[in-house]
Structure 1
């Protein structure tokens, strides 16, 4: 895959999680956005912002504070920039009976304490940033 060319890659759960969290922190994104299990690989291409994560199996995580069920595929990827992830693939949030894919995540700048999730279907949902703190 051309997007991965020149990327820094970490293999294994512990190293992968460390790298994913450090990227989220560097780009001022909530560190609990990606509650992953059994991480196989995390990669990041600094020149383009392309980031990918591979985990052994698809997982669902319930963000208790906002009562939102989110599905994380075995492969998640997108482009990271300050306070934003765009062209996101592999993440879906349950809305009633549907699972629309989340295509973009934006944290307000200047900070208002809000994070916005956009889907390709044109749906935008806004939640408090603290709902996505590590461990939520």
Structure 2
């Protein structure tokens, strides 16, 4: 009777390993869902994944990874996986010029196309799929530095808007002055 208990225990462990298969890392789960492993950076300390496709990954600190443009990863990144797609994504931002945009989703239409799409709200960015083949090193960035860069981007956008408004006001003043001089 006693040898039966250790044998039963070993069978349960074997079944758990077989059921989990090679999904022991979030990178393997991405690959199993037709997505490149490099969508998430190195340094993931813990992840959760459920049978609905919902996932959450945890990093020790917020960080930036350099691709064609810079991607910022918050300490927690979450979304919903389906084959070739991540929806309801939160925790990743992409830098374009001086501005940061929240990445809301990622998808691969046809893997043979070699293109991956990022939904950043107003537009969709396309990148070569090959850029995301392997997880990148992620440079730690203080949350205040990231907030400062967002603030700086907003200040730049505000300054451009003010300059355009001032130019328009100047043009209107010149037109009005020209009418009075006639």
Interval containing the TM-score (normalised by the shorter chain): 0.7 to 0.9
> TM-score, structure 1 length as denominator?
0.78
What number of residue pairs does the alignment pair up?
Answer: 114
Kept in 2: contact 1:83–1:107 (CA 8 A): yes
> What displacement does 1:135 show?
4.8
Q: Tell me how far apart the structure 1 counterparts of residues 28 and 111 of structure 2 sit (CA, whole Å).
A: 21
Q: What runs of 5+ residues in structure 1 fail to find an aligned partner?
A: 1-17
Kept in 1: contact 2:73–2:91 (CA 8 A): yes
> What displacement does 1:111 show?
3.0
Q: What runs of 5+ residues in structure 2 fail to find an aligned partner?
A: 1-23, 137-182
RMSD across aligned positions (CA) = 1.7
Q: State the Cα deviation string for residues 76-114 of structure 1 (Å, max 9, x = none).
A: 000000000001000001011111000010102363111
Q: How do residues 1-136 of structure 1 correspond to structure 2 at under 5 angstroms?
A: 19-37=25-43, 39-46=44-51, 48-63=52-67, 67-109=68-110, 111-120=112-121, 122-135=122-135
Compare the two structures and name the one with the higher strand fraction: 1
Q: Tell me how far apart the structure 2 counterparts of residues 24 and 128 of structure 1 sit (CA, whole Å).
A: 17
SS of equivalent to 2:28: helix
Higher gyration radius (CA) = 2
> What displacement does 1:41 show?
1.5
**Poorly superposed stretches of 4+, deviation over 4 Å:** none
